[in-house]
Amino acid sequence: MGKRDNDKPDSETAGGLSRRGFIGASAAIGAVGSAAGLLGGGLLAASSDVRAAGQGKADVAPGELDEYYGFWSGGQSGEVRILGVPSMRQLAAIPVFNRDSGTGWGQTNESIAILGESHKRGWQNGDTHHVHMSYTNGSYDGRWLFVNDKANSRVARIRCDIMRTDKITIVPNVTSIHGLRLQKVPKTGYVFANGEMIVPQPNDGRDLENPANYWTLFSALDAETMEVAWQVWVDGNLDNVDTDYAGTYAFSTCYNSERGVHLGDMMRAERDWVVFFHVPRIEAAIKAGKFKTIGDSKVPVLDGRQAAGSDFVRYVPVPKNPHGINTTPDGKYAIANGKLSPTCTIISLEKIDHLFAGKINEPRDTVVAEPELGLGPLHTTYDGRGFAYTSLFIDSQVVKWSVEEAIRAYGGEKVNYIHQKLDVHYQIGHLKASMAESRDCDGKWLMALSKFSKDRFLRVGPLHPENDQLIDISGDKMVLVHDGPAIPEPHDCIMVHRSKVRPKAIYTRDDPMFAATVAMAKADGVDLEKDSKVIRKGNKVRVYMTSLAPSFGITEFKVKSGDEVTVVITNLDTVEDVSHGFVMTNHGVGMEISPQQTASVTFTAGHPGVHWYYCSWFCHALHMEMSGRMLVEA
């Protein structure tokens, strides 16, 4: 089966360091012109599978459970996905910024309340990039997931007990939230979000054609309230972000320090930078009232631009257009990935302390190594045993290297810090090892999120799946064990040990998701767990009904064409997994009601006639007979 013509091995010398000078200052501009050639070359460079031999068993037998929850951002799909690892089976899709036909996300009154302003604006798409779980003392606490939306500049929160989105915030003053990470210590008090694209401040029509007055901001959201606590005005486009294990810093890569608006301009400078934010000093400055606000927004904004000379922001120059930034699990280093440079830059967080304390004057003196790794380094992850794993987009490889050896080499010692390069298929973006972004980094599995799959799967038309490749890193050598096709674009992921996550099997009746609906019922004199009632107020009709397999509490109700009908269903089933659905035929109406959940939907009654509603979740041998009639009079 299926080995392809272009699946030819490529030697490490051809695919690796020997090409390292290629993306230099002028070569990079050339690369833009010959984009198709560069890309084609990269695609042809990938190669040689290594199959599991003893090490690396991704198979999970029927009836057995995966060891890890994988939380995947869904990219343009606007959702977040849950996979089991190592089986790589998708267990759930959590609708976030998208519209979901199955659950009725974006149509039920409960989800509309959460979508809020996004719903009012008619937004039905999103572009989720970075999903992260809340921490307590640097360990995952299983409480929330947070994820950004690059498309419409938002941040969302997901409750891990029911795996549903419960808050969405539109971040003001910025265009495109790209990087997103969480405060790790003492707990996730802040969600840090990078504004990526530079725009006039305020963006109200002024300075349209004067990019010299375009700027972006770094934002901190309060994890509890999901309100934006403060913003910091910075130089350049913010890309990715990470935080330390001390509770002091957040730090963001910047890929357009030139603040250009065209591709060529964005690559002029030999170096861009990593921006370090000193959180306690920022809080002090806010408290001291040293902020301003922008336009209609009430969010306090501090000026962290270099020219402002603040005490809470420092800019550390690194080679051009860096992309990922990743803290080592021992908390010692932040490692920035070169993208257009074949290097990573290792910055000592202890030296950052000294920089902010004034003991170091030159920001570059916080750099303790700048190892050469290969072409297109984008992200780095860790195994907790001193090794780093960096994705090489152009080389289509994962490189395993030693952080301490790289530091010794930077000090002049002759040491080969590169331990292995493994081909991936193809054009890897993010990569992530199990538990690698927590104190509990365990070095078992590594996920390589490859952007192209080309010929790795059965062809499904012009739009190809991406390829999430599972690599066993538990031994000396990385071993590729599984190719996982993915609906574009699963931008990033985390893998969390199952002991950290404790979802509910059924809803509890006091769930805040439907508290407003419960309150509405109470005001209508309805006991949701007992009553099935129709209440009419003018042309507004509320239809309260229970569901218990295989019956709805009401099997017919009468309305007039054009009435505003709200159907409220409470699922009385208490058996795990006995979800019901409610579909009103020929009305574009459908939603999920899981055990002990209340859900509601409002729609306009259509043309006069008989309109059946039915249960859309297979619930019982008599599921098909679980239906009722809406009788619509003229």
CA angle 401/402/405 to nearest 5° reads 125
Note whether 371 binds its own copies by CB under 8 A.
no
Q: Nearer Cβ to its own copies, position 307 or 458?
A: 458
Question: Dihedral of CA 441/444/448/449: which sign?
Answer: negative
Note whether 322 binds its own copies by CB under 8 A.
no
129 is in an annotated binding site: yes
CA-CA distance, 541 to 565, in Å (whole number)?
A: 5
DSSP string, 255-300: S-TT--SSTTGGG-SSEEEEEEEEHHHHHHHHHTT--B--TT----
- Out of 259, 278, 351, 451, point to the residue binding its own copies (CB under 8 A): 451
Residue with tokens 């709200």: 566
Note whether 25 binds its own copies by CB under 8 A.
no
Q: Look up residue 554 and give its amino acid.
A: I
323 is in an annotated binding site: yes
Question: Dihedral of CA 168/172/178/181: which sign?
Answer: negative
Note whether 339 binds its own copies by CB under 8 A.
yes
Contacts of 525 (CB under 8 A, 6+ apart): none
Note whether 425 binds its own copies by CB under 8 A.
yes
Note whether 254 binds its own copies by CB under 8 A.
no
- Out of 53, 263, 288, 523, point to the residue binding its own copies (CB under 8 A): 263
- Out of 63, 289, 412, 525, point to the residue binding its own copies (CB under 8 A): 63
Helix (H) or strand (E) holding 6: none
Note whether 543 binds its own copies by CB under 8 A.
no
Residues numbered 131-190 forming contacts with its own copies, rule: CB under 8 A: 150-153, 161-164, 175-176
- Strands ordered across the beta sheet of 377-382: 377-382, 387-392, 397-402, 418-423
Q: How far is the CB of 245 from its own copies (least distance, A)?
A: 28
CA-CA distance, 26 to 580, in Å (whole number)?
A: 61
CA angle 399/328/447 to nearest 5° reads 45
CA-CA distance, 37 to 607, in Å (whole number)?
A: 58
Residue with tokens 């591709």: 263
580 is in an annotated binding site: yes
Note whether 204 binds its own copies by CB under 8 A.
yes
483 is in an annotated binding site: no
Q: Which stretch binds its own copies (CB under 8 A): 3-11, 183-191, 278-286, 435-443?
A: 3-11
- Out of 316, 367, 518, 619, point to the residue binding its own copies (CB under 8 A): 619
Q: How far is the CB of 419 from its own copies (least distance, A)?
A: 21
Note whether 116 binds its own copies by CB under 8 A.
no
DSSP string, 438-483: STT---SEEEEEES--TTSS---SSS--EEEEEEE-SSSS-EEEEE
Residues numbered 85-104 forming contacts with its own copies, rule: CB under 8 A: 88-93, 97-104
- Out of 55, 139, 551, 602, point to the residue binding its own copies (CB under 8 A): 551
Note whether 546 binds its own copies by CB under 8 A.
no
CA Rg value for the chain: 26
- Out of 75, 304, 319, 553, point to the residue binding its own copies (CB under 8 A): 75
CA-CA distance, 201 to 191, in Å (whole number)?
A: 23
- Out of 277, 312, 452, 557, point to the residue binding its own copies (CB under 8 A): 452
132 is in an annotated binding site: no
Q: Nearer Cβ to its own copies, position 281 or 497?
A: 497
Note whether 496 binds its own copies by CB under 8 A.
no
As annotated, the binding site for Cu cation includes 129-130, 178, 323, 379, 430, 491, 580, 615, 617, 619, 623, 626
As annotated, the binding site includes 129-130, 178, 255, 258, 266, 272, 321, 323, 379, 430, 451, 466, 491, 580, 615, 617, 619, 623, 626
